[in-house]
Structure 1
Amino acid sequence: MILKLILGLLWCLVHLVISFFGSLSHLKNDLECYLISFKLLPKYRNLHLERLAYLGVVVDSREAKNALKVKQLLCWFSTIGINYLILYDIEGVLKELIQPGIETSTDGNPINSLDVVADTKASCYRHGGMFMECLSSSDGKEAIAKAANLLYSTCCNSDNKSEIAFTEADMTHALKAVGTGGPEPDLLLVYGPGRFHLGFPAWRLRYTEIMYVGPLESMKYGTIVKALYRFSRKYQNYGK
């Protein structure tokens, strides 16, 4: 009994210590984000975004219905100077929210326009000087189906069907040929309940840096700046 009591006390002590340091880490991060938002930390004032040609953002579909949060997020990206933004959620909620002049809140009431205009193809828009592409899980399924049909047609038209072996390069070429290849984001920010990309097209994530930034409802400007700063300081090795 004494041994069990001692082990139970040690377990509680370890749990308290871990919880304390976890809370301390969250507090430190929140304080740092607060200071970044008010530009009180010099190293975060000038972001070097030369390597960030394409930024991807994954949002959980339930949180994506909060149009005001989405609007604020896009305004922050535009202010920071992002040129090409790839937005993704599983159910396509962002596609419905981000349409020229018809943004609505979750209760159906209109909100201030995001000043977006349709671009050259469906689900592509411009917000100021920022180009935006909206994706959902249906885009991925359709892309794979179209690319597979194209490869199948190529196989049927070939004289030596037994010698055909499709490679990753063939699939990439087929995806581009059907117009669903698209650029690969250099950095992917994930807003959602877990540390995974929620079904973002895998063929566009070959060399992508993925960062989890918490739920959308608790998003912070400082968190975005901090993530972009961390990305600018990373060195990536590409194998053959």
Structure 2
Amino acid sequence: MVSQELRDNYRQNKLSASDRAKLIKPYLPDPSDLPRRSRPAKTNSASQSRRKPRKTPIRTFVKSQVHRLVYALTHIIFGIVVRLLQAYHAVVDRVFAIVYHHHRTPELIRKDVRGLKRLPNHLSVILNLRAEDDALAGLMDEVAELAAWSACAGIPQLSVYEKTGVLKSCIPALHQIITTKLASYYGSPSQQPTLQLFAPHHPVHGGTPSNPDHPSLTLLLLSSTDGRETMVDLTKTLAEMSQNGKLSYEDITPELVDAELSEIITQPLQADSDTGRVTASIKPEPDLLLIFGSFLKLDGYPPWQIRLTEMYCTGDRSHGMNGDGEAVEYQGFMRGLWHYAGAQMRFGR
């Protein structure tokens, strides 16, 4: 036990350090009874903090150069392969252009399509207005060439889509250009097919054939306004008719909308008895859609007209080797017909 004298001295703070240790020693546990703990190894944190990562400039330089070399070799090999393919397709196109040249002779064109299993009754073409000084004249000449090829091949209906709709503003001039082009193919006017040219919300420009067996060509001009804007106008018309009680909302069905859109697009304005203009009609959905370009781009083409249409891009082989890949050429026209003749029409089966 601790004596009373030590306690008094502890209270009066007269004890030395050894006396304090002696005083509290009986109250401390035995060191042998305490669990032993493993002491962590001493680490020199200061030295580790001062240690810097090892620099490998030579290895880094070699690695970057290897990556650049592999990248360059890949591009060189890929470029050589692409150029070889472009040259091959360009040569093949030139050979086809020589072998299958029409020479503005309907008999040669009929001979080229004679062996095809089927021909489209309605051919549609997407053309672009180029950024040139005489772009409009070139565009109308391309339309005239397509009209002559279609008439010679026995395709009765042709529709031409041009996004801006510039062709609609010069229908009489276009009709004259196509008539002149047909004269260069057929010769006398009596042998030329009857041409009917019109656009949505425009009257027919041309006449009807006097003989039902006489060949005829119906040409329809389309633009981007015949797509979304036509749908908007039809929606407004149906909404007004429903509000006025002329049409029940239950009668507005997808079939009705489809029928109305097809009629708006493919039917011209009614003929005027005073002017003597005639009306024409065209099959709503084209059988074949030709895109004269480097890639497949509908560019705002009315979507409800191409649900069952076979599409073919004429510039997918040239890869830009021949100009911009948008030139209207006879071999591209024939390749489209060959593609359509060999396509399988499953219609969802």
* Structure 2 length-normalised TM: 0.54
Tell me what 2:94 maps to: 30
Give the number of the structure whose alpha-carbon radius of gyration is greater: 2
Counterpart of 2:236 in structure 1 is 149
Other-structure match for 2:128: 60
Could you tell me which of 62, 78, 81 is aligned with 1:14? 78
**Distance in 2 of aligned mates of 1:174 and 1:28:** 45
Count of residues paired in the alignment: 229
How far 1:133 moved relative to its partner? 1.0
Q: Does 1:83 align with 2:163?
A: no
CA drift of 1:143 comes to 2.1
Unaligned residue ranges in structure 2 (runs of 5+): 1-61, 184-194, 208-214, 267-282, 316-323
Identity value in percent: 21
Q: Which runs of 5+ in 1 are unaligned?
A: 105-110
2:200 maps to 1:136:
no
Q: Scaled by the length of structure 1, what TM-score is found?
A: 0.75
Alignment partners' CA distance in 2, 1:119 and 1:158: 31
Cα deviations across residues 112-149 of structure 1 (Å, max 9, x unaligned)?
A: 47675556972644597111111112233442133212
Classify 1:123/1:229 alpha carbon distance in 2 versus 1 (closer, same or farther; 3 Å): farther
- Describe the superposition over 1:88-109 as per-residue Cα deviations: whole angstroms up to 9, x where unpaired: 11111222344267757xxxxx
Distance in 2 of aligned mates of 1:52 and 1:118: 19
Displacement of 1:199 in angstroms is 1.3
- Alpha-carbon RMSD: 3.7
Higher relative contact order by CA 8 Å / sep ≥ 6: 1 or 2? 1
Task: Map Cα deviations across residues 14-68 of structure 1 (whole Å, 9 max, x no partner).
Answer: 321232123213322332343222699xx94515474511111111133554133
CA distance in 1, matches of 2:174, 2:85: 47
Within 1, Cα distance between the matches of 2:205 and 2:338? 26
Partners of 1:188 and 1:211 within 8 A in 2: yes
Matched ranges for 1:41-56 at <5 A: 44-48=112-116, 50-56=118-124
Could you tell me which residue of structure 2 aligns to residue 221 of structure 1? 330
Q: Which structure 2 residues correspond to residues 88-103 of structure 1 after superposition, within 5 A? A: 88-99=161-172, 103=176
Distance 2:205 2:118 in 1: 22
Alignment of 1:160-171 (within 5 A): 164=250, 167-171=253-257
Question: Matches of 1:150 and 1:10 in 2, distance apart?
Answer: 58
